[in-house]
Chains A and B, each alone.
Chain A
Amino acid sequence: MSIAEIQQAEGRGTPVLRRFLRKRTGVAGLVMLVVPLVAGLCAPLLVRIEGQDPNTLHTDLLHPDGGRPLGAFGGVSADHWLGVIPVTGVDLFAQIVYGIRSSLFIAFGASILSIAFAAVLGTAIGYFGGWLNAVAGRVIDFMFGFPGLMFVIAIMAIVPPEMPRGLVLVLVLAFFGWTVPARIIGAQAGAINARTFVEAARATGAAPWQIIRREMLPHLFGLVVVLFAMSLPGNVSVVAGLSFLGVGLRGDVPDLGKLLSDSLPWIYSGADVWYMLFPGAVVFLIVFGATLAGDALRDVLDVRMEDAA
C-alpha cells in the first residue's frame, strides 16, 4: 500500500455531521435555534429593511383610550411586522430582534464560560482524582447548597450603574453554571481514565497530557458539546427571567425577558395578547430548538448508541 493510499483512506471525514442531518428533530431544533440567532445577529439590518428602529414612538398607531395598538394582531402591518408595543407604540419586531441579541449573547457567553471551565476542571478531576476530586467535590456540594438564583437576583440588584450589566450577568451566570457540568464531566473522565486503553497508552509510555489529549478528550468532546447545548436554553430562560423580575439588563436595552414582563398586564386584561405571544414564541423557539438540537447531538456523538445502532 502506498502512502498516498494511506492518506486517502485517512481522509475519510467522520460522518458526525451527516448523521446529525439525518435526525429530523435535531435539524428542526437547529433551525429553531439558528433562525432567531441569525435574526439577532442581523438585527440592525433587519430593522432597517423593515424601515423602523427600536426606539421611535408611534402614538398615532395606538387607541386613544387605554393605549392598545390599533388593528389586528397587535397592530401588525406592512410597516410594523409584529405590530407595536402598547402605550409607547414602539415597533415590536425591532424590540424582539434587538432583544434576541442581548438575551442570546449573554446566554451564549455564560454557557461558553461555564462549560469551558467545567470541561477543564472535570478532565483534571477525572485524570488526577485523589485530593483534587475531594476538594472540587466539596466545593460543588457547597455550590449545590447555595441558593443560586436568590444570589444572582441579589447581585444584579446591587450592581453599580457604571458597570456593564451584560458582562456582569455573563459572569454571574457562568459562576453558577459550571457545577453540574463539571461533576458530570469529572465522573465521565474518571470512568475513561480507569479504562484499559488508557492503561495501555500509559504502558506504551504516554505522558499525562498526551493521554488527556489523545485518549480522554475525544471521549469527552461529545459530552461537552451536549452539555453546552443543554445549558444554553437554561441560560436563555434565566436571562429572560431576571429581566422579567426587573434585575436584568438596563431599562433602555431591548431584552426578551423585559418584553415578557412588560406584557403581563396586557395579557391579564386581554387587551393585547400579541404583545406577549410574539416575544414568548421567540423564547420558546430558542429554548425548544436548543433542547432538541442538544438531544440529537447527544445521540449522534454517543459512541455507545452508535455501536448499538
Chain B
Amino acid sequence: MPDPVLQVEDLCVSFTSGGVTADVVRDLSVRLDGGRTLAVVGESGSGKTITGRAIMRLLPRGASARGRIVVAGREMLSADERELRRARGSDVAMVFQDSMSALSPYLDIGAHIAQAVRLHDPSVTRRAARARAVEMLDRVGIPEPANAVCRFPHEFSGGMRQRAVIAMALVNRPALLIADEPTTALDVTVQAQILALLRELQQEYGMAMLLISHDFGVVGSVADDVLVLYAGRQAEYGSLRDIFDQPAHPYTVGLRAATPRLDARLDTGGERTRLRAIPGAPTSLRDAGPGCAFAPRCGLADQVGERCVVETPLPTVRPTSESGGLHLAACHLDRLPALQEVAR
C-alpha cells in the first residue's frame, strides 16, 4: 500500500479557558490516499472544522492538539514554525467557506495568487508569479483571466471569488486540500459548478481532498469516503456507499433523515414527507462523562439500555456492501433496525 497523503492517529484537540478543559476532538484516526476525497460530516460543534485546522496546525489560541498527524510524510504536530510554513500552502492548502472574507480587500486577485507562488519559491520573479496567476485563473475557469488578475475581490461574484480562492490554494499543487464548507455560501447552481471544478482539479493533480461539510447532498456528489463526527468523536466511517445505503450509527441515520431530498416523494409513493430533526442539541463538550455522547438524543438507546450511558462505544467493524472497504461505527447496537423505524 502506498503511503497515505494524510494520516491522523489518535488525534485529540482540547481547549483550555479559565482553567476548564474541553475536548473538542477525541481519539480521531483517519487515513486518506492521494486522489481520494474524504468527507467529514457533522453538526455545528462536532469538531469537523477544528480537525481541518489541526491538520494545518492553525488552531485558535488556547487549543492544543495531541496524537499524530502526518501530511505528505511530514509530522505536523512536532514540526517547528519554519517547517509548518513550508508545509502550509505547498503540501496542504485550504479553501474557506466565505470567499469574500478569505481574500484581502486591499489586494487584487492576482496579488493573492502571486503571493502564494512566491512564498514557496522566492526565486520566481514578480512578473512570472503574476503570469502564473493568470494561468491559474484560466485553469479554474475565470473568463478573461488577464483582466481578472487586476480585479479586486469585491468586483467578483461569489462563485468567481471561490474560484479565485481555489486558484490561490492550488497554485502550488498541494498533496492535500482541505475544503472547509467550500460551497455553503454559494447558491445551488454555482455549488454544483464549484464541486465539479474541485473534482476535476483533484483528478488532474492527483491530490487528496478533505471535504468538511454538513450537507449530504454535497457529500454524495464528491466524496469517496465519509467520516461522521459527533461531539468530537468518530461516530461512523465508511465508503459513501456504506454510509448512504447501510448506515450503522443512529446519528448517521438521523443526519440523513434531516437532509432534504428531491426524491423523497418517490420513495414514499407520492406521500409528502416532513424533514425530521434530530431531537435535542449536541451535548456540551465540557461535562463529557462516560457513555455514548449521542445517547441522550438517540431513539435507540433504550433498546440497548444502561450500556449506552456507562460505556463509551468504540468504533467496530461493520459489514460492507462491496469491495471490502473499511466500515466502522461507534455504537453498541450491532445491527440497526430498518431505516424507517429508526427515523420514527
* Chain A residues proximal to chain B, CB less than 8 Å: 1, 3, 5-7, 9-10, 12, 129-130, 195-197, 199-207, 210, 214-215, 218-219, 303, 307
Contacts and interface: CB of A to CB of B under 8 A. Distances in A.
Nearest to A207: B85
Interface in B181-232: none
A245 B103 CA distance: 53
16 contacts: A1-B146, A6-B149, A9-B149, A10-B110, A196-B98, A197-B103, A197-B105, A199-B96, A200-B102, A203-B94, A204-B116, A204-B169, A205-B119, A215-B104, A219-B106, A303-B106
B105 A303 contact: yes
Interface in B147-171: 147, 149-150, 154, 165, 168-169
A3 B131 contact: yes
A197 B145 contact: no
B105 A210 contact: no
B151 to A, nearest CB: 9
B240 interface: no
B131 A6 contact: yes
Interface string B130-145: 1100100000000001
A6 B131 CA distance: 8
B127 interface: yes
Where chain A touches its partner, the secondary structure class is: helix
Interface string B217-258: 000000000000000000000000000000000000000000
Given A1-B134, A6-B130, A6-B131, A203 B56 contact: yes
Nearest to A14: B106
Interface in B79-134: 84-90, 93-94, 96, 98, 101-107, 110, 115-116, 119-120, 127, 130-131, 134
B194 to A, nearest CB: 17
A204 B89 contact: yes
Given A196-B98, A204-B115, 17 more contacts: A6-B110, A6-B150, A10-B110, A10-B150, A12-B150, A197-B102, A197-B105, A199-B58, A199-B96, A200-B103, A203-B58, A203-B88, A203-B93, A204-B89, A204-B119, A303-B106, A307-B154
Contacts of A307: 154
A3 B61 CA distance: 42
Contact of A202 (B88, B115, B131): B88
Nearest to B108: A10
Nearest to B127: A3
A9 B151 CA distance: 10
Contacts of A5: 146
Contacts of A218: 104, 106-107
A202 to B, nearest CB: 6
- The 5 A-B pairs of least Cβ separation, nearest first, read A1-B146, A204-B89, A205-B89, A196-B101, A218-B106
A129 B229 CA distance: 32
A205 B88 contact: yes
A7 B102 CA distance: 25
B88 A204 contact: yes
A6 to B, nearest CB: 5
A200 B168 contact: yes
Contacts of B116: 204-205
A205 B96 contact: no
Nearest to B84: A205
Contacts of B172: 204
A7 B120 CA distance: 23
A250 B106 CA distance: 47
A206 B104 CA distance: 14
B230 to A, nearest CB: 26
A134 B327 CA distance: 49
Nearest to A202: B58
B98 to A, nearest CB: 6
B127 A6 contact: yes
A207 B146 CA distance: 28
A206 B93 CA distance: 12
Contacts of B107: 214, 218
A137 to B, nearest CB: 16
B150 A204 contact: no
A262 B172 CA distance: 71
Nearest to B111: A214
Contact of B145 (A1, A10, A200, A206): A1
Nearest to A12: B150
Q: Counting chain A CB atoms within 10 Å of each CB, which of B103, B104, B165, B169 scores highest?
A: B104
A197 B88 contact: no
Contacts of B134: 1, 6
Contacts of B103: 197, 200
Nearest to A214: B115
Contacts of B105: 197, 303
A7 B114 CA distance: 14
Contacts of B101: 195-197
Given A206-B85, A210-B119, A218-B104, A200 B94 contact: yes
Nearest to A303: B105
Contacts of B169: 203-204
A204 B102 contact: no
Given A9-B147, A219-B106, A204 B98 contact: no
A251 B172 CA distance: 68
B127 A204 contact: no
A210 B89 CA distance: 14
A205 B104 contact: no
Q: Counting chain B CB atoms within 10 Å of each CB, which of A1, A5, A7 scores highest?
A: A1
